Amino acid sequence: MRFQRLDLNLLVALDALLTERSVSLAADRLCLSQSATSSALGRLREYFNDDLLVLKGRQMILTSRAEELIEPTRAVLEQIRSTIAVKPEFDPSTSDRLIRFMASDFTTEVLLAPTLARMQEIAPNMRFEILHMSSAPVDALERGYIDLLVTVDFATSSDHPSELMFQDDYVVVGDKDNPAMSQEMTSELYLSLGHVTVRFGRSRIPAFDDWYMRRKKQQRRLDVITASFVTMPGLIIGTNRIGTMHRRLAEKMAKYYPLKLTEVPFEIPPVRELAQWDISNNNDAAIRWVVSQLRETAQAEGPPRFKDDGGDSKIAIEFITDKDRL
């Protein structure tokens, strides 16, 4: 590589020659042959238009121009070593790094919120921004708009590294005074009740339970369609309507709202939440540290409470390709 006609590879040879004041000793230091080192000296002499090293008696001495180059050459190489060649350390206690996430309201509630609360103490100067899920989350990652995509596995890309955070299943939620919630939740009862469901964004992408019911050609009455899972409790309380929600989120919401939970009366594939980052950031210590913090939070919740036999894994893949046709 050249910079203003100077082959930058020659800087290392120049430093060795100026330090050792000997072609043979510089060659040993560079692990090069004497002829290759002599060739490098020749090109340096041509570039600087100066002999740099001259023979005086039996020793080589530096010219005045060479003496002037000692400190600048060392300073340049040291700066390269300290800023480029040496991987910078990451210290969460002092870092003021901004990390941008893209995540759904579900993921934000059950994973990001508790993680960021815990990180406030161990990384007090770090800053975070959470963006709503877009219709092209991987594109946002690749364009550098976000640092971490935290979402369901079928919305991620195999072209970039990712790590499984947790798995979750679904439950039925209803007002604690809803008579239907005191009965066994059969398929017939489930389909007969009014439902609150979620559709996302301008494209009105259906929540997975809504899509799954359509795929199974099961008809249910959709009384209310809302834009996020966190708004569902307010639309269920005081009514006889029910909703289908991720278990982790439902259990969290039940601590603050008068909700009752019961099992879904049919098999529905579990959701797998992944954290993904761009492959160009695979060695970014700050991003990898944040991923480790997300993993700790997810593991603290314990293992999933459902049987995952993998039989419906193909369904999730089909969902991401079919959603725009629904």
CB atoms within 10 A of CB 31: 7
**How far is residue 83's CA from residue 80's CA, in Å, rounded to a whole number?**
5
Interval 49-107: pLDDT, tens: 999 989 888 888 999 998 998 988 888 887 777 666 556 678 999 999 999 999 999 99
Helical residues (DSSP H) of 32-112, grouped into ranges: 34-48, 64-80, 105-107
* Nearest residue to 85 via CA among 96, 76, 93, 94: 76
Interval 97-141: pLDDT, tens: 999 999 999 999 999 999 999 999 999 999 999 998 887 899 999
Check residue 313 and give its pLDDT.
42
Domains and CATH numbers, the chain: 2-85 (1.10.10.10), 98-165+274-325 (3.40.190.10), 170-263 (3.40.190.10)
Helical residues (DSSP H) of 224-281, grouped into ranges: 232-236, 247-253
Helical residues (DSSP H) of the chain, grouped into ranges: 10-20, 23-30, 34-48, 64-80, 105-107, 113-122, 137-142, 187-192, 208-215, 232-236, 247-253, 285-300, 313-322
pTM above 0.85, yes or no: no
Q: Over range 179-195, report the average pLDDT.
A: 94
Mean predicted lDDT score pLDDT of the chain: 85
